[in-house]
A and B are shown apart, each in its own frame.
Chain A
């Protein structure tokens, strides 16, 4: 391939100023590129930080709403358990109404009223090292405190479930569920409540109560 050289172009030696100017241009290009990249990353990090915070606020709102429901359910459960505890006396079988109510009240021991916290955002923040996105230490500290509080509550929940199951293990020996369930319909209501009176008992002795045949 033929190469045409321009006769007017000569390979003039560059002086120091030209070298310096070239160096300055390259240096500025690199620095500006670096600054632009840094700025882009910062803008992206700030955007991510805000997205995380917005998502966390949504999680916290869900937690708050669920906490209200759970507190209500736990209150109700505790009232039910109080009543049950009060009714369970050694001579309960002398009072048909008390026996009937205690069978109803034991249902408060059927459902665990625990809550699962929305930990989606908080887990993402902690597990993927995204806590670094939070620029303010006070924000990071408060989120960490909240996360620690969740873990403490979850530990208490384990005790709750454990003791709840202990109650369930014992109550089979206390109630006559075959007799009880034969008297309730699919919706869980007594078909004819008065039929229950005198037909079901609470085991108040180790020997157990006399089993009464249910006449249908």
Chain B
């Protein structure tokens, strides 16, 4: 039972870390899109 509990709690914690990672990537994706738009405007890129 101890191993199963440990496994479940590790999965739970891993999920939280993955969730943070996903949030970071979503934020970075938005930042990248904004940066693309900004650079295109500044340098007149198509």
Looking at chain B's contact residues, the main secondary structure is helix
B32 near A204: Cβ-Cβ < 8 Å: no
How many B residues, CB 8 Å from partner?
A: 36
Q: What's the nearest-Cβ distance from chain B to residue A116, in Å?
A: 12
* Chain A hits for B15, CB < 8 A: 78, 81-82, 85
User: Cα distance A11–B21 when bound, in Å?
Assistant: 86
B34 to chain A, nearest CB (A): 8
Per-position 1/0 for B1-17, Cβ under 8 A of A: 11110111011111101
Given A53-B45, A63-B32, A203-B4: A85 and B39 interface contact (C-beta under 8 Å):
no
A160 proximal to B (CB < 8 A)? yes
A61 to B33, CA, bound (A): 8
Contact of B21 among A143, A150, A156 (CB under 8 A): A156
Closest chain B residue to A86 by CB distance? B8
**CA A137 – CA B19 in complex, angstroms?**
34
- Interface pair A77/B6, CB less than 8 Å apart: no
In the bound assembly, the distance between CA atoms of A114 and B25 in angstroms comes to 10
User: A204 and B17: CB pair below 8 A?
Assistant: no
CB closest residue in chain B, given A150: B28
Of the residues B7, B20, B22, B28, contact of A75 by C-beta under 8 Å: B22
Q: What 0/1 pattern do residues 53 to 94 of A give for CB contact below 8 A with B?
A: 110110011011001101100110110011011001010000
Taking the closest CB of chain B, its distance from the CB of A81, in whole angstroms, is: 5
In the complex, what residue of chain B is closest to A153 when comparing beta carbons?
Answer: B24
- Chain A interface residue count, CB cutoff 8 Å, equals 55
Q: Which residue of B lies closest to A118 (CB)?
A: B32
Between B14, B38, B40, the greatest number of chain A beta carbons within 10 A of the residue's beta carbon is seen for B14
Q: Confirm or deny: A36 has a beta carbon within 8 angstroms of a beta carbon on chain B.
A: no
B11 touching A85 by the CB < 8 A rule?
A: yes
Chain B residue contacts of A74, Cβ below 8 A:
18, 21-22, 25
Q: Which of A15-23, A163-171, A177-185 contacts B (4 or more CB under 8 A)?
A: A163-171
Identify which of A64, A82, A205 contacts B1 (C-beta below 8 A).
Answer: A205
Give complex CA distance A85, B1 in Å. Answer: 14
List residues of A (31-64) whose CB comes within 8 Å of B's CBs: 50, 53-54, 56-57, 60-61, 63-64
Given contacts A88-B11, A163-B13, A174-B3, 7 further A-B contacts (CB under 8 A): A60-B35, A68-B29, A84-B11, A90-B1, A139-B38, A173-B7, A205-B1
Q: Which 5 A-B pairs have the closest CB atoms?
A: A67-B29, A163-B14, A153-B24, A60-B32, A74-B22
